[in-house]
A and B are shown apart, each in its own frame.
Chain A
């Protein structure tokens, strides 16, 4: 039966070590909302979202109270809008407005799915959607957008890479008054997953059921605290401690997901086994790496320590829940992690090191602030580099960088809340324009002769 030590351990994890459920995300298919009249389609979208998610926030709050575990965000992901809007043959911004209105009506924090999937080329609706992203993110508060530009099976769509460099910059320019926040709501993926509950990259894949519930857990503080009790453990023991802690964290995700799905009458999808940091003190992935033995995150050894952490989190979490999915791994969003912010400010954590780190963990170059005068082609090249890592390693990678318009190295952007603040990080000045402007498709990689 329950013993006092176990009870107090759970309470300490929640009270002192920032253990929480990061998000309950309801995935909603909008395939049945397609109509060639955009106003009719938008009305269907609004009605379906508000009908399916009307109880989401209340149920999540009830569960949070009953189990005493904070549920930080309630979110919705929908079918990529490029698919829904293709028949309308016009700018799909009205869909973003309908999504935003619906999200506000049901009280969720964010809604994702203003997305296009173009790993092998553009179909009807894709280019219109991509071109409308800056306006859509400017006009809405809760809508998040993502574009998948490559995959291991298809290679990388370099034309889409080129477009996205420009779009990222336009998103920042369109939201200068909000500290360029538009770019923080846009993710460019390679190997995007269809059941991701985390924003800004969540969308509801076409292979998913009509409606489902996915859960993302969090708990870097719990892992760091567990490791701090064993200062002399060898690295195998460290891995074991992380596994056990990850198991406990993930069990709560499973419990909350199953309970939410029962109460909402919606099938339970997956638990995303992630260590998602927040800017709060004691909730940092960088601090776990430092607890393992690095003087500062970003120094030599960071990639190896992160590889161990990411693997152990998955191994521990796999046994704790019935279905795993999403991005599952340790996140390294710079502005959302107090340890990463400090490391970046000190110059120890550079964009090159972050790129190497993304090869061994979830997910990619995330929440990185770059100089405002960065050329669009340079952003495209960063996207292409990151996509290449994902394509070759058969993993999801993403880029969410924010050009700080009017700012340069030494300045910072501050959004507050979960998004945190980020110092402007330097990029290389040499131009990749000729490479990016060649266009075409980087062919899919060979799956044998691996070296």
Chain B
């Protein structure tokens, strides 16, 4: 089972570090990261393995949203199935 974490907002030092650190706390293994900074705007898409997470997925999702709010970023944590079902036949 995998989830997609997207982070969008103004660039700052330590965004990737904080998000991946939070993943580690939940025992979510980072598989792939795509990241870019365009005119001060930070955009990151992170694919993480959630099959061995140590708390319910909903809690991880809430936790990431709160982390985003505390940093002035928009963070979405969604199960990858929603993207697969919408974009693959």
Contacts and interface: CB of A to CB of B under 8 A. Distances in A.
A66 B76 contact: no
Interface of B: 4, 6, 34, 45, 47, 57-58, 61-62, 76-87
B28 to A, nearest CB: 14
B83 A7 contact: yes
A240 interface: no
Interface centre among B57, B76, B77, B78 (most CB of A within 10 A): B78
A360 to B, nearest CB: 28
A255 B81 contact: yes
Shortest beta-carbon contacts, A-B, top 5: A68-B78, A65-B58, A6-B87, A67-B82, A255-B85
A252 B6 CA distance: 19
Contact of A65 (B6, B62, B86): B62
16 contacts: A2-B80, A6-B86, A7-B83, A10-B83, A10-B87, A65-B57, A65-B58, A66-B61, A67-B81, A67-B82, A68-B61, A248-B86, A251-B86, A252-B85, A254-B85, A255-B81
A317 to B, nearest CB: 13
A40 interface: no
A254 B80 CA distance: 15
Contacts of A67: 78-79, 81-82
A446 interface: no
Contacts of B82: 10, 67-69, 252, 255
Contacts of A105: none
Nearest to B3: A66
B76 A2 contact: no
B61 to A, nearest CB: 5
Contacts of B83: 2, 6-7, 10
A10 B79 CA distance: 12
A66 to B, nearest CB: 5
A20 to B, nearest CB: 13
Nearest to B2: A2
A130 to B, nearest CB: 43
A66 B6 contact: no
A11 B76 contact: yes
Contact of B58 (A62, A251, A254): A62
Contacts of A251: 85-86
Interface in A377-393: none
Nearest to A259: B81
B86 A252 contact: yes
A2 B47 contact: yes
Contacts of A4: 34, 45
